[in-house]
Amino acid sequence: MKKIPFSPPDITEEEIQAVCEVLRSGWITSGPQLAKFEEGIEEYCNVEKALALNSATAAMELVLKFFDIKEGDEIITTPYTYTATSSVAVHRGIKPIYVDVKKDTFEMDIDKV
């Protein structure tokens, strides 16, 4: 049986050095690099404001709240993901509905929605 790697790291030396530079600066929860990153996202997405969060889990929680998805509602997601994808919904009383992925791309199979 072939093993499918799940989220293997892809980190370059340049990225490691950038992280070290931020750690040495003393700014680890906000600061000039975060502001620069958010400004870059704003420009790239052509939006007025972008907000960087500490994790995709925090971002998913924010999205559910922003769109007023609440207890008793349902969301469509894939089972081929981290547990946080479903747990953020379950913690808010939202029911995840699972749609499998395509075997060749691992993208959600839209034909099964």
List, for residues 86-110, the tens digit of each pLDDT value.
999 999 999 999 999 998 888 999 9
pLDDT digits (tens, 9 = 90+) for 44-80: 999 999 999 999 999 999 999 999 999 999 999 998 8
Which domains are delineated in the chain? 27-112 (3.40.640.10)
Torsion of CA 35, 67, 91, 9, to 10 degrees: -40
Neighbours of 38 (CB within 10 A): 14
Q: How many Cα neighbours within 13 Å face the side chain of 51?
A: 9
Q: The pTM is what? A: 0.71
